[in-house]
Amino acid sequence: MGSVNEIDFGTPPSTSENLVELVIDGQAVRVPSGSSILRAAQTIGAAIPKLCATDSLQAFGSCRLCLVEIEGRAGAPASCTTPVAQGMVVKTQTPQLAKLRRGVMELYISDHPLDCLTCAANGDCELQDMAGAVGLREVRYGDQGKNHLDLPCDESNPYFTFDPAKCIVCSRCVRACDEVQGTFALTVQDRGFSSQVAASQSESFLDSECVSCGACIQACPTAALTEKAVIEIGQPAHSVVTTCAYCGVGCTFKAEMRGEELVRMVPHKDGKANRGHSCVKGRFAWGYATHRDRILNPMIRGSIQEPWREVSWAEAITYAAAEFKRIQAKYGRGAVGGITSSRCTNEETYLVQKMVRTAFGNNNVDTCARVCHSPTGYGLKTTLGTSAGTQDFDSVAQCDVMVVIGANPTDGHPVFASRMKQRLRQGAKLIVIDPRRIDLVRTPHIEAAHHLPLRPGTNVAVLTAMAHVIVTEGLVDEMFVQTRCELDAFEFWAEFVSRPENSPEATQAYTGVDAGELRAAARLYATGGAAAIYYGLGVTEHSQGSTAVMAIANLAMATGNLGKPGCGVNPLRGQNNVQGACDMGSFPHEVTGYRHISDDATRAMFEDLWGVELDAEPGLRIPNMLDAAVEGSFKGLYVQGEDILQSDPNTRHVAAGLAAMECVVVHDLFLNETATYAHVFLPGSTFLEKDGTFTNAERRIQRVRKVMSPRNGYGDWEVTQLLSNALGSPMSYAHPSEIMQEIATLTPTFAGVTYDRLDALGSVQWPCNAAAPEGTPVMHVDGFVRGKGKFIVTEYVPTDEKIGPRFPLLLTTGRILSQYNVGAQTRRTANVAWHQEDILEIHPHDAEDRGIGDGDWVKLHSRAGATTLRAIVTDRVAPGVVYTTFHHPDTQANVVTTEHSDWATNCPEYKVTAVQVARSNGPTDWQSDYSSKARRSRRVAPVEPAE
Amino acid sequence: MNPRVFVPGDAAAAAVGADEVATAVAAEAARLGVPVQIVRNGSRGVFEFETLVEIETGAGRIGYGPIYPEDVAGLMAAGFLQGGPHPKRVGRPEALPFLARQTRLTFARCGLTDPFSIDDYRANGGIVGLEKALRLGPAEIVERVKASGLRGRGGAGFPAGIKWETVARAQALQKYVVCNADEGDSGTFADRMLLEGDPFLLIEGMVIAGLAVGASQGFIYVRSEYPHAIAAIRRATAAARATGLLGASAGGGSRAFDIEVRVGAGAYVCGEETALLESLEGKRGQVRAKPPLPAHAGLFGRPTLVNNVLTLAAVPFILAQGADAYASLGHGRSRGTLPVQLAGDVRNGGLFETPFGMPLAELVDDIGGGTLSGRPVRAVQVGGPLGAYFPRTLFDTPLDYEAFAARDGLIGHGGVVVFNDTVDMGQQARFALEFCAIESCGKCTPCRIGSVRGAETLDRILAGERPEANLAVLNDLCEVMAAGSLCALGGLTPYPVRSALKHFAEDFGAVPRAAADVS
C-alpha cells in the first residue's frame, strides 16, 4: 500500500503546440513554448527549489528560491516567471545560486518556529524540504529579531486551522482562493514584514467569506493551513484514488489513510472532472461514515409501532425475502417493487433492477432520478437521441457565452462552478435565468450580462421567447439546421415560435421577464460565439420539465451550438450517480442504455443472459407505486439508499403510501425518515467501503475504490445479491468488476468499459465501445445519436398550481453549499456550522405586508400541508416568490410541495408551489406528530441476553 | 491690459507663503486703486528666491524675491509695478546665474506661463510637437523618440523609443499610456513642479505617446501626498478636454485620446511600474513579476506604455525641435537634459535642468553653492533613498547613467541630496534598510524579511556586537537582496548600505574590512 504521489511541475502547463528546445544543466529539453524554465527543468527531473510556485497556480515569483542563471543574461532570474526560449542555456545549480538560495531560506527560517518535530506537517512540509534541498546549516540572525511567532492560531473553522506563525506569506492560499476557487475570500493584509494572510476583513475563517473548499490548504506549503484531522491523527501513511459520493460533478480524491482510518480526502490533480479542486462537502464532510447514528446491524420488526429488533444478516434477509414472497403470493406479482439509488454505484443500481426484474418478476423498479432529472432523459432523447449531457466539463474552458438556467452551481455544483467562474473571469459572458439572484449573478470579478428573473413555472415561455427572437431576427445557424436537423420539424417549430404570442413582449406579462432584456440575452446566446447551456432541477422539476429540456435542445440546435467544444446542452446532475442510475436501467420502462423494455430484441438479450423471462410491460413509477399502495394493490418495497419520505413531494401522501404497505425494506446508512415506516432495515455501506463506479454529469465513469472494510459487514451490492439469492434468483458476483463486465456485455454504449481500462485511463465517458475505445468527451460531433436533430414544438402550458387569494406566493426550493439534499450525510458532519436549519427567503415587500422580520418563525402553508421555519428578509428573491432549502427533516419542506408533476415523466413539480406565509410561534401539528412518531419509530429494543 | 503680476501657485512657493503674498498683492492693489492682473504661474525652481514675484514690464519680466506678505506694501510703494528698485529686486529672472546656466528644454515654460491657459501654452511654443506628430504617423514618431536617445527618467534609464516601439507593435484592441507621477524619492520634486507649473506639456507628451503606440486612454497616477499637483493636473486635463487637446479627436487629429487622473494611497512601492498598475486596477500595490512586460500585458492585461512624467514631458521638444536637437546634448549614452533636483543641506536648492555630463562637484559646489549651513559637504546621495552615498572622492563622476553605475551608484530620478559633515552614515545606512522595511510591498522574501533583518543586524554592528561576523551577515544579505529581490526596491536598497559601508567605514564602529571586499 503506497501513496499516490503527484509531481508538482511548479507552473501550469502551456497549451502551445510550438515546441522550444533549450539546454538545462547540460541536458537538452523540448517543451511547449510559454512553459516556464521551472516546469521545463522538472520534466527532466531537475527539481529547482521553490516555495511560492505550484502547478495549479499562475507563477508569482515571490519566494526567490527558484533563481537560475541563463547564459547571456545578467543576474539570477526566477525560473517560475521566466519562459523558455529557443536555444536558451540554463544552469540551475551553481555556487552563486546555492549561496542566494541559502540566503533566502535563512531569512524564511529566521521567522519560523523551530518545532518541526512536533509540527503537524512534519514529513509533509515544503519549507522543511527546501531547507534540506538548499543545504541550510545555520540561521545567523539570532532569535531576538522581529517575528510572527506569537500570533494566535485561528481554529474557528471546524475542519482546519490557520496558524499565522507558520505562514511564510507565499500567497499560495490567496491565489488558490482567487484563481482556483474564485471566492476571493483571502488577502494579504498590510505590507512588508507585517504582511499577513487574512480572511475577508481580518475576520475569523468561519465568519469570513471563506467557503471551506480546501484549495488554500491544498496549496499551503507549510503547516499554516492544516486539516484538524491531520493534527489529531498524524500524517497519512498510504492513499487510494477514489470518487466523491456527493454531487454530480464527480470529483476524484485521494483518500489518505492510516491503516483503515481515513485521515483526509485530498482532491486529485489527475481527476478529469475536478482537476485537483474540491468543495467543503467532498473534501471535509465524510465524518458521517463513522457517525454514531450509523446503523451497523440488520433490524426487523413486525409492525412500525414496534421497536426495532437487531437480528443477524441471515435472519433479516430470510425475513425480507419471505415477506416479499408472501405478499406476491397474496396480492400478485406486481404488488412489490424496488427503488434504486443515485447515491449507490452503477453496479449496485444494476443489481437492484436486475433483482426486481428477475426475482420479483416485474418491472416495478424506479430510481430517485425520477424526482430530479427524468425530464432530461426524456427531453434529450427525443430531440438529440441520447439521455445525457453533450459535453465534458473541460468544454467550459472554451465557452464564450454561458447560459445558466434553473441551477445554482456555486452551491449545488461548487467545483464545476469554480471552473465556470475561471472562464467567466477570462471574459466569457453569462446569462442567468432564475427567479432568484443566485450568487453567480454578481460575485467577485463576475457579473452576469443578463439576469432574467422569471416567475417560477414559466421556463418554457421564456425559452420559447428566446427562440422567437432567434428565429424572427434571423439569428438561426441555417447551415447547421440544414445539414444536421430534420427540416420539416424545424419549419414547423420555426413557424410556431415566430407567432406573436411567443414574442418576449407578449410573454412578459406572465413570465415577469423584461422583453428588452430577454431579446438582448437571446441575441447574445445566438451570436456571442460558442454558447453553452447549463441547467439543473430548476428546469426539470416542473409540470413542463420535459418541455423545457426540449426547448433548451431546440435553442442549441437552432444556433448550431452542439457537437463542438465550448457549447452544448449540459444538465448539472444533482447526485453523484444520477446519470449512472439512469444508465443502469433502473426505470420501469427501460433497461440499461435507455432501451425500452417492450423491445423484443433487447429483452431477448437480457433473457438469454439472465435465464428468465422478462415482462414486456413497463412497471410502476415511484408515484404510481405510492398511489397503488394507498389504493391497496402495492404492498412491498425495497428502497436502497433513498429517503423518499423526505425527498419526494407531498410528504403526507408518501407517508400514507408507506404506511399502507406490509413490507418496507430500507437499505441505508441511517434510520432515515422513510425507515420510520419500514419493517426491515438493512445497514448500508459508504462509498469508502466498497468497490464500484459512479457516472457523473458528463457521462464520466469513474472508479470508487474500497479504502476500508464495510463497518456493517457488506457492500450494498453484496446485500442485494444476498436478497436476490434468498428470493430464488441466484447471483454470484465475487467482485463489482464482474458486474461491470455483465453491464458491458448487455449495453452497447458501455461495451468497452472494464475496470482495467478505467484503471489505465483514470475514467472514460460513455459511449465507450469499439467506435470510441477511450470514450466520448463531446457527443453528436458529426451527427446526432438519433440521426437528425429533431425540433419539438414547446407550447407553454401554465401549471395547475396557481396563486390565488389563499396562497398568493410562489415557493421554489434549492440547495445550499454546505448541505446535501436530504442532509442525511451532511447533517451528521461539522457542516452544520454553516447551515443548521432550513430558512425561508422572503422579499422585503412580502415580509412587510405580513409583519415578518429577520429570524421570525413563519408558517409556510400550501394546499398539501404546512410547516414552520425561520425567515430571512432578502431581495435575492423577487416579490411574490419565496425560497427555501430542503435539507432538514425538522422542516420537511416537502410537506408543502404538491402532487403536480411533469407531464412526460412524472418528475415532481418541486419548484412551484402556491403558498401563504404567516408569522407563527411554533411547529405545525404535522411537525409535532411526525417528530414524535419518528422518535418512537427509531427505538431499538435492548438485545436479549444470550441463552 | 492691466499689468500682470506673477505669483507662483506652486506648492513649494505656497509652502513659503505665496498664497498670502498673492492675497496681499491683490489687497494692496485694491487699496491703492491700481488695477492688476495676478497670474499664478509655476515656480521657476530657484528656491532661494521663492516666493519669487514677477512683474511684466516693457523690458521683460522683473523678479523680486524672496517676498513675504509683509513685504508687499513696501514693494508696491517702491513702484514694483513698473519694475522699480527694491532691496529684493533680482532683475530679469532669466539672468539669475542659477537659471542662466541651465538648458531648459523640459522646464522651458515652467514659471513663465499661466499653467492653466492653453493660449499661454500655445503662445510659448506648446503644441508644436503634437502638430508635427499628427503629421508624422505612429512609426515615424517612434523613430524620432528612438533617434533622440531619450531614456526613461523614472530611474531605470531604459531607452524610451524601444519601449514605445514594443507597445506600438503589440497587437491589441485596447492599449494604455500610463504616466508615473508617483514621485516618492526623497529630495525629488521635478514631477510635481511640472504637474503644477506646465501640465499641458505632460498632456501633450501623452497625446503624442498615445498616437505613437495606438492607445486611446491615458492615466496619470499621482501620489496622494501631492494635493496641489492633483488639483493642477485635474484642472489642466479638464481645460485640455474643453479645448480639444484631449477627446475624440485629440489635438485636432483623427485619433481619440483622453486622460484620467488617479491618486495613489501612500505607498512608495507604487512608483514601481507594475505595483503602480496593480494599484491603478484597484488592487493592493504589489509588484508583479516580469515577464510579461507591461508593454505586452500591462494595465488590465493590455499593452501599456508606462513612462515617468519627465520622460513624457521631454517628447514634445523632441518632436518640435527634432531628435537631433535633443540628442546633440548629453554625455555618452545619456542624451539630452536631466532636470536635476538639488536638495538637502545646499545653499541653492531647486530645479536645475542641464545636459548630461556635468560632474557632481560642479553641481554641488558650483551650482548648489555648497551647504546652506556652511559646513563642509561630506556625502551626496544621488537617485533617491535607494541611491548610493558618494564621498567627495567620487565627485568627479559626471551625470551619466553608465558613469554612475560604474561606481556602484545611480542617477535615478535626478534627485541630489547633500549632507554635511555632521551626518552619521551608520544611521543613513540603517535608514535605507528601515525605509525598505516600511515601504516593502511584502511580496518577495529578500525585501520583506531581509530589510528587517538587515536593520537588526546593522543595529548590532553599530552597537559593537560581534561586528566582523555581523558585517559578513550584512554583506551576504545585501547580495541576496540585490540579486534576489523581485523589484528595484529590495534590489537597490543595498546601494546606500554598501556605499556607506565602503566609503564611510569609520561610521560603523570598526573598520569594516569585510565590506571593503564587497565591490
Q: Give residue-wise pLDDT tens across range B325-341.
A: 999 999 999 999 999 99
Q: How far is B185 from chain A, CA to nearest CA, in Å? A: 18
pLDDT band at A910 (very low <50, low <70, confident <90, very high): confident
Using a CB cutoff of 8 Å and minimum separation of 24, what contacts does B462-471 make? B462/B426, B462/B427, B462/B430, B462/B508, B462/B509, B464/B509, B464/B510, B467/B508, B467/B509, B467/B510, B467/B512, B468/B510, B468/B513, B468/B514, B469/A140, B471/B501, B471/B508, B471/B510, B471/B512, B471/B514, B471/B515
Please state whether beta strands A446-447 and A336-340 pair in parallel, antiparallel, or not at all (unpaired): unpaired
- Name the strands in the sheet holding A692-695, side by side, starting at the edge strand that comes first in the sequence: A692-695, A700-704, A763-765
- Which residues are paired to B331 by β-bridges? B334
Q: What are phi and psi of B149, to 5 degrees?
A: 75, 10
Residues A397 and A467 in one domain: yes
In the predicted structure, residue A159 carries a pLDDT above the cut 80? yes
Q: Are B438 and B266 in contact (CB under 8 A)?
A: no
A946 falls within a domain = no
- Domain co-membership, A591 together with A681: yes
Q: Is there a domain that residue A701 lies in?
A: yes
Closest CA to A35 of A96, A95, A75, A90: A90
Is the domain of A541 the same as that of A501?
A: yes
Is B444 close to A63, i.e. CB distance below 8 A?
yes
Mutate which: B433, B443, B457, vs A, most A CBs within 10 A: B443
Backbone angles phi, psi at A666, to 5 degrees: -105, 125
Of A880, A721, A784, the C-alpha closest to A359 is A721
Give A-chain residues touching B476 at CB under 8 angstroms. 99, 103
Nearest to A104 among B290, B442, B446 (CB): B446
Side chain identity at residue A335, one-letter code: A
Confidence of residue B519 (pLDDT cuts 50, 70, 90): very low
Do both A526 and A391 map to the same domain? yes
Give the integer Cα–Cα distance in Å for A682 and A297: 7
Say if residues A278 and A253 touch (Cβ distance below 8 Å): yes
DSSP A182-226: ----EEEESSGGG-EEEETTTB-TTTSS----SHHHHH-SSSSEE
Closest Cα to residue B457, out of B407, B515, B415, B411?
A: B515
CA distance B502 to B514: 9
d(CA A703, CA A699): 13
Q: How far is residue B76 CA from its own chain's centroid?
A: 35
Q: Which of A571, A590, A615 is at the close of a domain?
A: A571
Residues A419 and A495 in one domain: yes
Tell me the pLDDT tens digit for each residue of B413-469.
999 999 999 999 999 999 999 999 999 999 999 999 999 999 999 999 999 999 999
Which range is least confidently modeled, A401-405, A802-806, B356-360? A802-806
State the best of A60, A64, A80 to mutate against chain B, taking most chain B CBs within 10 Å: A64
Cα of B434 to nearest chain A Cα, Å: 11
Please give the class, per CATH, of domain B118-327: alpha beta
In this structure, the answer to whether residues A593 and A735 fall within a common structural domain is yes
Predicted confidence band at A938 (pLDDT cuts at 50, 70, 90)?
A: confident
Chain A residues in contact with chain B using a Cβ-Cβ cutoff of 8 Å: 59-64, 67, 75-76, 78, 80-83, 96, 99-100, 103-104, 107-108, 110-111, 140-142, 144-146, 168-169, 171, 187-188, 190-195
Torsion sign, CA atoms A762, A768, A773, A776: negative
The architecture that CATH gives domain B4-100 is 3-Layer(aba) Sandwich (3.40)
C-alpha cell recorded at residue A20: 522550444
Residue A196: how many other CB atoms lie within 10 Å: 17
What is the C-alpha to C-alpha distance for residues A840 and B411, in angstroms, rounded to an integer?
A: 67
Q: Which residue of A has its CA nearest to B446?
A: A104
DSSP string, A878-922: PTTEEEEE---TTT-GGGT--S-B-TTT--B-TT-EEEEEEE-SS
Residue A504, in any domain of the structure: yes
Chain A closest-CA separation from residue B174 CA (Å): 15
The three-state secondary structure class of B137 is coil
- Selected residue of B434, B453, B459, B479 to mutate for chain A interface (largest A Cβ count, 10 A): B453
Counting the structural domains of chain A, the total is 4
| Helix (H) and strand (E) counts in chain B | 23, 16
Q: What is the pLDDT of residues B471-506, one digit of tens each?
A: 999 999 999 999 999 999 999 999 999 999 999 999
- Computed over every residue of chain A, the mean pLDDT equals 94
Element at A573 (helix H, strand E) = none
Contact (Cβ atoms closer than 8 angstroms) between residue B380 and residue B359: no
A739 and A609 within one domain: yes
Asked if A815 contacts A885 with a C-beta cutoff of 8 angstroms, the reply is: yes
A322 & A415 share domain: no
Q: Do residues A564 and A585 share a domain?
A: no
- Last residue within a domain, chosen from A101, A133, A165: A133
**Whole-structure pTM value:** 0.94
Region B34-49: mean pLDDT is 96
CATH of domain B425-518: 1.20.1440.230
Q: Residue A453: inside a domain, yes or no?
A: no
Pick from B197, B46, B228: which is nearest to B110 by CA? B197
Lookup: cell for B95: 539672468
A63/B449 Cβ within 8 A: no
**Helices marked H in A643-774:** 644-647, 651-659, 716-726, 736-746, 755-761
The proportion of chain A whose per-residue pLDDT surpasses 70, expressed as a percent, equals 99
**To the nearest whole percent, how much of chain B has pLDDT over 90?**
96
Digit-coded pLDDT (tens) for A563-588:
999 999 999 988 899 999 999 999 99
For residue A893, which of A833, A829, A815 has the smallest C-alpha distance? A815
A601 and A738 belong to one structural domain: yes
Give the amino acid at A431. Answer: I
Residue A521 belongs to some domain of the structure? yes
Whole-angstrom Cα distance, residue B21 to residue B69? 4
**Nearest residue in chain B measured CA to CA from A189:** B284
Across the interface, do A140 and B451 touch by the CB < 8 Å criterion?
no
A218, pLDDT greater than 50: yes
Chain A residues with CB inside 8 Å of B286's CB? Answer: 188
Q: Of A104, A133, A162, which residue is a domain's last?
A: A133
Question: What are the Cα distances from residue B135, in Å, to B163, B254, B311, B319?
Answer: 22, 11, 22, 11
Of B106, B21, B120, B136, which is closest to residue B355 (Cα–Cα)? Answer: B106
Q: Exposed/middle/buried for A51, CB within 10 Å: 0-12, 13-18, 19+?
A: buried
- ipTM entry: 0.94
Instruction: Report whether B345 contacts B375 (CB < 8 A).
Output: yes
C-alpha distance from residue B487 to each of A353, B274, B289, B482 (Å): 66, 9, 8, 9
State the pLDDT confidence band at B510, using cuts at 50, 70 and 90: low
Q: What is the pLDDT of residue A946?
A: 52
Domain of residue A119 covers: 19-133
Fold of the B330-420 domain: Ubiquitin-like (UB roll) (3.10.20)
Question: Do A415 and A357 lie in a common domain?
Answer: no
Q: What is the pLDDT of residues A46-72, one digit of tens each?
A: 999 999 999 999 999 999 999 999 999
pLDDT digits (tens, 9 = 90+) for A524-548: 999 999 999 999 999 999 999 999 9
At A488, list the grid cell. 420539416
Angle between helices A95-109 and B467-484 (to 10 degrees): 110
Name the B residues in 245-274 with CB < 8 Å from any A CB: 267, 269
CATH number at residue A670: 3.40.50.740
Question: Quick one: A608 exposed, middle or buried, by C-beta within 10 A (0-12, 13-18, 19+)?
Answer: exposed
Match 456550522 to its residue by C-alpha cell: A833
pLDDT at A650: 82
Q: Are A359 and A417 within one domain?
A: no
- Mean pLDDT calculated for residue range A142-148: 94
Per-residue model confidence as pLDDT tens digits over A759-789 = 999 999 999 999 999 999 999 999 898 999 9
The CATH 3.10.20.600 domain(s) of chain B lie at 330-420
pLDDT, tens digit, for every residue of A299-345?
A: 999 999 999 999 999 999 999 999 999 999 999 999 999 999 999 99
Question: Where in chain B do CATH 1.20.1440.230 domains reside?
Answer: 425-518
Give me the pLDDT at residue B517, please.
Answer: 45
Question: Of the candidates B453, B479, B483, which has its C-beta nearest A110's C-beta?
Answer: B453
